[in-house]
């Protein structure tokens, strides 16, 4: 193996770490490939910056200049089908790919090793397709995996125990119908060590599964968690909200479970607002049958001070009094958007409260009766 081959192998072995990429950039400088080295360093720097960082504009301009002048050279050695894709952190970064299990096996399987990381969505994948994927070393190329279908029961174990799942950052598994015992392997030390976004919508975790997940080694590193339609109650939400368990969480989605059960959703919100989520920016509470009591709990919650987006889709029982409580809250001053389903008799009045509070209000896209209050972009 040549020096260059060894350096590239280190990048593929540790695709989330910038250090091997920067070491390779140094090697390129030593071998008179200065533009390629600058490009890698520049893209790594861009990837580390926040979206609102004032340096981004100038860095993007320099990145565009290098890409325009040298992209043909950067793409040399790539399979023809990968040459259309953009680069990220110095190397080809395919956009999300939506495939069937058949397409993965027959079209993309041999392409996986040619990019450090991939984002795959598998539709109607059979259990045999997933078992093969989890057991194959090419699984190490996946940073994001989305699965849809009732195949999760029994398959969390081979996923969690796969030595090739080590680079998985985002897992979205909808309609798995997995229970607390099914998801237990994912909660063990060492399982998917980079996992930071977990979406397990329409499963059967219940309060026991929420407690198990909240107490697991994965919870302190989760940035996003979605447990929509999981038979949760106040006890399960309280387990998630316990101090220190979801310390870096930025997005939380809960919903559906309390619809039609008077007071159940309000009790879940009351349990949520007893907790502390120091980095929470987006909160989605969908079809929990919330009333003004839930709105008042949110309005009185000091932990809401960092929220930027509050989504109360389907909560048709929140009246103008609840919206006013939110608008007057000293803890919700940083909100940029609020979405809700208003009671139709008070729609205009609620729209007026949202406009006065945030600056503008209008229909929620894709929802016939929804309203969205938002802060307009500054002129």
Q: How many domains does the chain have?
A: 1
Q: Is residue 11 part of a domain?
A: yes
Q: Is residue 22 part of a domain?
A: yes
Residue 371, φ and ψ in degrees, nearest 5: -125, 145
Q: What does the pLDDT look like over 275-299, one tens digit per residue?
A: 989 999 999 999 898 999 999 999 9
Q: Is residue 34 part of a domain?
A: yes
Q: Is residue 171 within 8 Å of residue 195, measured between CB atoms?
A: yes
What DSSP string describes 77-109? TS-GGGTTS-EETTEE-PPPEEEEHHHIIIIIG
pTM of the model: 0.92
Q: Is residue 76 part of a domain?
A: yes
| pLDDT tens for the chain, residues 1 to 379 | 689 999 999 999 999 999 999 999 999 999 999 999 999 999 999 999 988 899 999 999 999 999 999 999 999 999 999 999 999 999 999 999 999 888 888 888 899 999 999 999 988 777 888 888 889 999 999 999 999 876 666 788 888 889 999 999 999 999 888 899 988 998 998 888 999 999 999 999 999 999 999 999 999 999 999 999 999 999 999 999 998 899 999 999 999 765 545 568 999 999 999 998 999 999 999 989 899 999 999 999 999 999 999 999 877 789 999 999 999 999 999 999 999 988 888 999 999 999 999 999 998 876 667 899 999 975 4
Strand ranges inside 127-188, DSSP E: 142-148, 170-174
CB contact burial 236-258 (16+ within 10 A = b; e otherwise):
bbbbbbeeebbeebbbbbbbbbb
Q: Which of 91, 77, 96 is nearest to 41 (CA)?
A: 91
CA distance 136 to 114: 15
Q: Is residue 327 part of a domain?
A: no
Question: What is the SS3 assignment for 323?
Answer: helix
Q: Find all residues with CB under 8 Å of 160, minimum gap 6, and list them.
A: 185, 186, 188, 191, 192
- Catalogue the long-range contacts made by 276-279 (C-beta closer than 8 Å, 24 or more residues apart): 276/241, 276/243, 276/303, 277/241, 277/246, 277/247, 277/249, 277/252, 277/303, 277/306, 278/247, 278/303, 278/306, 279/223, 279/247, 279/248, 279/249, 279/250, 279/306
Q: Is residue 149 within 8 Å of residue 201, measured between CB atoms?
A: no
Q: Is residue 322 part of a domain?
A: no
Q: Is residue 101 within 8 Å of residue 127, measured between CB atoms?
A: no
Give the residue numbers spanning the domain of 12: 3-88
CA distance 241 to 197: 17
Q: Which pLDDT value is given to residue 379?
A: 41
């Amino acid at each position: 193996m040549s020096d260059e081959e060894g350096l590239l192998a280190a990048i593929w072995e540790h695709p989330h770490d910038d250090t091997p990429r920067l070491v390779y950039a140094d090697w390129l400088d030593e071998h008179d490939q200065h533009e390629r080295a600058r490009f890698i360093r520049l893209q790594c720097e861009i990837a580390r910056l926040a979206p609102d960082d004032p340096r981004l504009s100038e860095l993007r301009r320099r990145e565009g200049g290098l890409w325009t002048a040298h992209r043909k050279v950067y793409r040399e050695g790539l399979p023809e089908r990968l040459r259309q894709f953009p680069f990220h952190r110095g190397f080809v970064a395919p956009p999300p790919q939506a495939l069937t299990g058949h397409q993965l096996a027959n079209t993309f399987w041999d392409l996986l090793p040619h990019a450090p990381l991939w984002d795959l969505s598998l539709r109607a994948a059979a259990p045999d397709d997933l078992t093969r994927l989890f057991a194959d070393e090419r699984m190490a190329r996946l940073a994001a995996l989305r699965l849809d279908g009732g195949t999760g029961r029994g398959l969390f174990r081979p996923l969690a125990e796969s030595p090739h799942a080590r680079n998985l950052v985002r897992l979205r598994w909808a309609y798995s119908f997995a229970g607390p015992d099914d998801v237990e392997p994912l909660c063990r030390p060492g399982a998917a060590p980079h996992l930071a976004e977990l979406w397990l919508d329409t499963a059967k975790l219940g309060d026991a599964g929420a407690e198990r997940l909240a107490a697991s080694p994965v919870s302190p590193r989760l940035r996003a968690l979605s447990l929509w339609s999981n038979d949760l109650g106040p006890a399960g939400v309280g387990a998630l909200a316990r101090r220190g368990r979801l310390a870096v969480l930025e997005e939380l989605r809960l919903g559906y479970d309390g619809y039609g059960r008077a007071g159940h959703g309000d009790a879940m919100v009351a349990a949520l607002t007893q907790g502390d989520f120091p980095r929470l920016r987006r909160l989605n509470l969908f079809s929990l049958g919330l009333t003004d009591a839930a709105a008042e709990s949110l309005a009185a919650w000091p932990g809401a001070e960092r929220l930027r987006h509050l989504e109360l889709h389907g909560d048709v029982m929140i009246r103008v009094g609840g919206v006013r409580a939110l608008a007057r809250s000293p803890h919700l001053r940083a909100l940029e958007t609020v979405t809700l389903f208003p009671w139709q008799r008070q729609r205009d009045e609620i729209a007026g409260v949202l406009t006065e509070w945030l600056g503008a209000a209008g229909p929620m896209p894709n929802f016939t009766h929804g309203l969205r209050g938002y802060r307009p972009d500054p002129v």
